[in-house]
Structure 1
Amino acid sequence: MRLTRRAAAATAALVTSALALTACGPSGDSGGSDSASGKVEGQVTFQTWNLKANFKKHFEGIIADFEKKYPDAEVKWVDQPAEGYPEKLSADAAGGTLPDVVNVSPDLAYPLAKAGLALDLEKAAGTYRGEYLDGAWRSQRMPGLPGVYAFPWYLNTGPMFYNKALFTRAGLDPEKPPTTYDQLFDDALTMAHRSGRKTAMLAGTPSIEDFGRYGVRLMNSQGTQFTFNEPKGVELLRHYKELYAAGALDSQALTAQAESAGRKFQQQSVAMNPGSAHDLENFKKEAPSLYRHIGITNAVNNTGRANMYVQGLMVNARSKVKPAAVAFAHFVTDRKNQMAFAKEVTIFPSTKGSLDDPYFTEEDGTDATRVRVASAKSLKTAVNYTPVLLSDQMKTVLRNAVAKAVQGEQSPRAALDGAAAECNRLLKTG
């Protein structure tokens, strides 16, 4: 099963080029009416992303309920493997065989929306907007395009784990982990100094999400230019350079992967690290001395909003059964069905009020509920910080620039200016 927030974004250019073949008008032209009114009838083709193996019974139940509610409609469910999913969307778009309802992440929805193949649900189904969390609804907007191009579906976010024993050893309050970046930087420097540089607070350099949580404007309002090199972005990178020099950022942070950062945390040489309920279970089995001192908090931010990973259900703007397709996409993502799905797998509903359910607010002493409650609380106001236009190639450009600045090979200003220029060049060339 793959319930991740993004597909392989490296294929975005392939998708975009294929969609260019299908667009028959200016960008955003749906090639037909956006109206989704009319009788709910006909066969709806519903495509998911690697879900049938583990959730066959769940989705067959939803389909049966929908067909019972709408006797003149039927649903054909098609499930695609995670491997090659973007290429499959590209081929369907180019061949005019895109399903009526498609499971997409925002980065996959963007080229479809730009080519006029994604229905603007703000126009066609805006009456449902109030059923979803504001941040989840906004996450389905696309840069430079008016409207919303998918119903928000399941969400996820990650809590931050911290080691209370290491906080105590450094003279920091173990019950008050940092919540803002200024607090994080101060605590990290204190910990490095008092441990004789033996304990780092963090094991990774800042990603685009960190820039967003810091309060950096990542793109202009038109979605035509990256702006993470603005003064606030340079300020963030200067702080990380200082942390690295002081030993508050792990010496291997410039090359660390998520797995190696996790090992550093498990070895108790790093005091804070993001994770999941699965990580907690591993700590309990493999590192009981760490597990006894685990604290759980939200990821540090200056905005008051956690990062949100989101999936959605897009409706094909050229569907021949548009009223039924919209009705089904809404049915799958309504509060009842999202809650049922969340109880089968560790995801969170995007519908308003769902996160107030006792399932997401009451702990029972297990690792799973400890993380679930912490994550659900942060998701109520979370946003998706990662721009849908940021490809894997652009992420590499930014990561390399950050490494050069942190090591002192370039100034933070020069490194970010160069990264923004290269990312904007890639944005223009597609």
Structure 2
Amino acid sequence: MRISRRALAAAAVCFVLPLSACGSGSDGGGPADASGKVEGDITFQTWNLRANFKPYFEGVIADFEKEYPGIHVKWIDQPAEGYADKISADAAGGTLPDVVNVSPDLVAPLAKAGLALDLDKAAPTYGKEYLEGAWASHRIPGTTGTYAFPWYLNTGPLFYNKSLFEEAGLDPDQPPRTYGELFTDALELAKRTDGEVATLANVPTIEDFGRYGVPLMNDQGTAFAFDDDKGVELLTKYKELYDAKALDPQALTATPESSGKKFLTGAVAMNPGSALDLGNFKKQAPNLYRNIGITDQITSTGHVNMYVMGLMVNARSERTPAAVAFAHYVTDAEHQMSFAKQVAIFPSTAGSLDDPYFTEEDGTDETRVRIAAAKSLKNAVNYTPVLFSEQMKTALRNEVAKALQGRQSPKEALDNAVKACDTLLRQQG
């Protein structure tokens, strides 16, 4: 399958480990470091990758076994559906593979249960090989460790319709880059078009609060904090957009597909997307395609949002040196670069995004978007807290909707959202 920005976003699934698996942190078992001879049989589990990338992974495994003759890697690939439940069951039953493909939210409960190896302790020399934001993405608030090797990254540039900006008297070559600029331009565009053209088609998510500079959690990772003055300020601004029709009236129930259709028809001026979208524009809306602009995600922090996958080492593996060596091998610069040329993802290794593949234009739409995304990823941040579950996302969205509809104030909405998320957080154990 094609691994897109949206797919990575949708892949964030939270689960709660059974009490029988609970521990007190990364010291719950297994060797404390990765020193020792790299040998023995290990298991490697991926997440719905065999169907389209079987030759790639079989090649990587064969090369690793050739480099380390005393090792045999058994590759297991699990379907996307029920992946979190499968990890939970393995964790509870003591059958967790040695190396596991995880997203940050999946590694969090494993780390809390003492099942994820702390790489800062076990293999501290590797951290410098990866982008700082990527290495930090598998840290858990309230702890001091890093619990997975960062693997592939993704992000999405923002498309905008230059003709709509120009018709509203805005500079088509100077799209908004900060939230302040966005709010000003969006209100002006709505005013000039009598509310016929909205700038955005989506309500603010937790990533928006992060990119706006709102503190999302306390330092201990025990409570959420996005209901502070800055968070209320952001939601208040979105309420102004909604009232002025600068935010699409159907944003409360929007999906990526419906937002894309709004952008395609010229009802919305800005929308995130991918190289595949450019191809669709070319076929379905040639006028839009001729006037398409590509810019970075809106951010007031100077850092865009990244989506990241990782490889976690089972802290209770009996073959820790081999497991760490293999996880590092799969995620090193050479192999990440090789994988990135097969699928629309980006390497998390330091320096890889300076490769000509990510910097030199060749006239194709795919390269145009790839270069824009790669440039922004160099100092990107995973804003979604690793402890922020799908249930929490729903709670936030519901309260945001009430605020936009005027059923409660932005402050009341965010206070209620934080209260609901804190309750869910305590239930995670």
Could you tell me the TM-score, scaled by structure 2's length? 0.97
Matching residue of 1:191: 189
> Does the 8 Å CA contact 1:362/1:373 hold for their aligned counterparts?
yes
Where in structure 2 are there 5+ consecutive unaligned residues? none
Match of 1:212 in 2: 210
Letter in 1 for 2:385: P
* 1:154-182 Cα shifts (integer Å, max 9, x gaps): 00001100000000000000000000011
State the partner residue of 2:426: 428
User: Partners in 1 of 2:136 and 2:14 — Cα distance?
Assistant: 24
Helix, strand or coil: the match of 2:310?
strand
Per-residue deviation, 1:8: 5.8
The answer to whether 1:175 aligns with 2:173 is yes
Q: Is 1:121–1:149's contact at 8 Å kept on the other side of the alignment?
A: yes
CA distance in 1, matches of 2:14, 2:369: 33
| 2:299 corresponds to | 301
Q: Provide runs of 4+ in structure 1 moved above 6 Å.
A: none
Q: Does 1:143 align with 2:141?
A: yes
User: For 1:408 and 1:204, how far apart are their aligned partners in 2?
Assistant: 17
Q: Distance in 2 between matches of 1:140 and 1:277?
A: 28
For 1:233 and 1:26, how far apart are their aligned partners in 2?
32
Distance of aligned partners of 1:6 and 1:267 in 2 relative to their CA distance in 1, 3 Å threshold: closer
In the alignment, the residues of structure 1 paired with residue 283 and residue 246 of structure 2 have an alpha-carbon distance, to the nearest angstrom, of 28
Amino acid at match of 1:213: R
Per the TM alignment, residue 429 of structure 1 is displaced from its structure 2 partner at its CA by 2.3
* Matched position secondary structure for 1:140: coil
Residue 27 of structure 1 deviates from its aligned partner by 3.3
Counterpart contact for 1:165–1:293, Cα < 8 Å: yes
Task: Measure how far apart 1:10 and its partner are.
Answer: 5.5
Match for residue 292 of structure 1? 290
Measured in 1, the distance between the counterparts of 2:360 and 2:2 equals: 27
Superposition map of 1:21-420 within 5 A: 21-23=20-22, 25-420=23-418
1:296-350 CA distances to partner (integer Å, 9 max, x unpaired)?
Answer: 0001100000101000000001111110000000000000000000000000000
CA drift of 1:33 comes to 2.7
Question: Are the equivalent residues in 2 in contact too, given 1:402–1:416 (CA < 8 A)?
Answer: yes
Q: Summarize deviations over 1:269-317 as a string: whole Å, max 9, x none.
A: 1100001111111111111111111000001100000101000000001
Counterpart Cα distance in 1 of 2:158 and 2:325:
38
- In the alignment, the residues of structure 2 paired with residue 240 and residue 128 of structure 1 have an alpha-carbon distance, to the nearest angstrom, of 42
Of 354-363 and 245-254, more deviation after overlay is shown by 245-254
- Tell me how far 1:196 sits from its aligned partner: 1.2
Q: Decide whether aligned partners of structure 1 residues 66 and 376 sit closer, same or farther in structure 2, where only a CA change above 3 A counts.
A: same
The Cα RMSD (Å) is: 1.2
SS at match of 1:199: coil
Distance 1:233 1:254 in 2: 19
Q: Aligned letter for 1:317?
A: A
Amino acid at match of 2:15: A
| Cα pair distance change 1:69/1:353, threshold 3 Å | same
Write the distance in 2 (CA, Å) between the matches of 1:254 and 1:81.
Answer: 31
- Tell me which amino acid in the other structure corresponds to 2:162: K
Matched, 1:5 2:5: no
**How many Å separate the matches in 1 of 2:37 and 2:107?**
26
**Kept in 2: contact 1:7–1:85 (CA 8 A):** no
Q: Displacement of 1:394 after TM fit?
A: 1.1
Per-residue deviation at 1:34?
A: 1.5
Distance across 2 between alignment mates of 1:309 and 1:180: 20
Aligned equivalents of 2:117, 2:13: Cα separation in 1: 24
Paired letter, 1:240: Y
Give SS of 1:74's match: strand
Q: Given that residues 30 and 317 in structure 2 are in contact (C-alpha distance below 8 angstroms), is that contact kept between their aligned partners in structure 1?
A: no
Rounded to whole Å, the distance in 2 between the matches of 1:107 and 1:71 is 35
Q: CA distance change for structure 1 residues 391 and 11 in 2, over 3 Å: closer, same or farther?
A: closer
Deviation by residue 1:83-118 (Cα, 9 ceiling, x = unmatched):
111111011111111100000000111111110000
- Could you tell me whether the CA contact under 8 Å between 1:6 and 1:107 is conserved in 2? no
Number of residues paired by the alignment? 425
TM-score (norm: length of structure 1): 0.97
Please give the alpha-carbon distance, in whole angstroms, between the structure 2 residues aligned to 1:28 and 1:325.
Answer: 16
In structure 1, how many angstroms separate the alpha carbons of the residues matched to 2:123 and 2:14? 30
Q: Structure 1 residues 143 and 2, CA, compared in 2 at 3 Å: closer, same or farther?
A: farther
Counterpart AA for 1:156 = N
Distance 1:76 1:32, change over 3 A: closer
Shift of 1:29: 2.6
- Report SS of the residue matched to 1:12: coil
Amino acid at match of 1:210: D
Alpha-carbon distance in 1 for matches of 2:143, 2:91: 19
Q: What is the Cα deviation at residue 425 of structure 1? A: 1.3
- Taking a change above 3 Å as real, the CA distance of residues 2 and 81 of structure 1, as seen in their structure-2 partners, is farther
For residues 229-285 of structure 1, give each alpha carbon's deviation from its aligned partner in whole angstroms, at most 9, with x where no partner exists: 000000001101111111111111111111111100000011000011111111111
Amino acid at match of 1:188: A
